[in-house]
């Protein structure tokens, strides 16, 4: 990763906007609002263009997350605007992230959620709004502390139903409603589009 550039700042702003308007605004993640309002989300922009470089940045970001007090940094969004423009390549890369967690002994401490501008679930029709539950402006690895996730799930009574509720919300919103939120990467300034 390089120093924080003007482009990095714009990428982070696009992700914050997506988080505020899409994730929090639609209540897609009932746990996001608290960590966002407390400033406990760390935004890291990777300059990686390939799997090895992104894995290196991922290892550093997980290590940094675990060294921080959770009251200061509870979660990290590792954003990779120049890596994996193809979703299926990104999806295949996720196997490497799982291997890294096991190799470093972080399995059970950290969980990684993935987001991509062209995210697709297998066996779901291409145009289905269900895909938008995991669509973000840029390829992103969301690093979650297992302990924080466990506490949040215990505090939320029907946590298992969140995914189904999100799909219903997005299907009701429809493509035009999602577009109106202005959270797609296609809405970012042209020089930021991967």
> pLDDT tens digits for the chain (194 residues)?
546 799 999 999 999 999 999 999 999 998 899 999 999 999 999 999 999 999 999 999 999 999 999 999 999 999 999 999 999 999 999 999 999 999 999 999 999 999 999 999 998 998 999 999 999 999 999 999 999 888 877 777 777 788 899 999 999 999 999 999 988 754 443 333 33
C-alpha–C-alpha distance, residues 118 and 61, integer Å: 24
Residue 194, in any domain of the structure: no
Is residue 30 one of the residues assigned to a domain? yes
Residue 193 counted as domain residue: no
- Domain that residue 138 falls in: 6-188
**pTM for the full predicted model:** 0.91
Does 34 map to a domain?
A: yes
Helix spans in the chain (H): 6-18, 32-37, 51-67, 87-104, 146-155, 162-181
Handedness of CA 73, 63, 156, 168 (dihedral sign): positive
The total of structural domains in the chain comes to 1
* 3-class secondary structure, 145: strand
Give CA 84 to chain center in angstroms. 14
For residue 114, is it within any domain? yes
For residue 16, tell me if it sits in a domain: yes
Stated as kind and residue range, the H or E segment containing 78 is strand 75-79
Is residue 113 assigned to a domain?
Answer: yes
């Amino acid at each position: 990763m390089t120093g924080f550039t003007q482009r990095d700042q714009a990428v982070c702003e696009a992700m914050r906007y997506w988080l505020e308007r899409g994730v929090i605004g639609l209540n897609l993640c009932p746990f996001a609002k608290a960590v966002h309002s407390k400033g406990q989300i760390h935004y890291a922009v990777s300059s990686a263009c390939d799997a090895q470089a992104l894995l290196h940045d991922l290892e550093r970001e997980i290590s940094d997350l675990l060294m921080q007090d959770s009251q200061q940094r509870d979660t990290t969004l590792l954003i990779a605007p120049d890596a994996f423009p193809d979703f299926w390549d990104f999806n295949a890369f996720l196997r490497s992230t799982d291997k890294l967690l096991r190799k470093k002994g972080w399995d059970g401490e950290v969980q990684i959620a993935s987001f991509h501008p062209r995210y697709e679930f297998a066996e779901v029709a291409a145009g289905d709004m269900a895909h938008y539950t995991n669509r973000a402006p840029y390829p992103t690895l969301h690093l979650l502390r297992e302990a924080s996730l466990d506490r949040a799930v215990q505090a939320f009574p029907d946590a298992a139903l969140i995914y189904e509720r999100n799909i219903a919300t997005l299907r009701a919103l429809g493509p035009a409603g999602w577009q109106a939120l202005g959270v797609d990467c296609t809405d970012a300034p042209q020089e930021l589009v991967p």
